[in-house]
Amino acid sequence: MAIDLVPVWIAIMALAIFMYVLLDGFDLGVGILYPLAPSERDRTLMMASVAPIWDGNETWLVMGGAGLLAAFPRAFSILMPALYFPILLMLLGLICRGVAF
C-alpha cells in the first residue's frame, strides 16, 4: 500500500504560507500603527513586541518555497522563470523592510 505524498506536501506548503501570512500580518500591523502611536514609549513597546519574532516569520516563506522545490521540482522549474521578476521585487522589499526596521 503506497502513500500518496502529494496531498501531504500540499498541506505542508499551505501551512507554511498560511503561517507566514498570519504571523507577518502582526508585523505589518505594527508597522502601520507605528506612526500613530501617541508617545515614544508606546513606539518603543511596539518595536520591542515585534523584534523577537520578526526574523522567524520569513522562515515560513522560505519553507514554502523550499517545499515547492523539494516536492514539485517540475512546477518549480516552470513557476520560477515566469515569476522571477515579481519574486525579486518581493525579496528586495523584504530586505528594505528589514533594513528600515
Q: Compute the C-alpha angle 62/63/64, nearest 5°.
A: 90
pTM equals 0.78
How far apart, in whole angstroms, are the C-alpha atoms of residue 34 and residue 45? Answer: 10
Percent of the chain residues topping a pLDDT of 70 = 98
Residues 48-60 have pLDDT tens digits of: 888 888 778 888 9
Residues 11-38 have pLDDT tens digits of: 999 999 999 999 888 888 888 898 999 9
Q: Which residues contact 99 (CB under 8 A, 6 or more apart)?
A: none
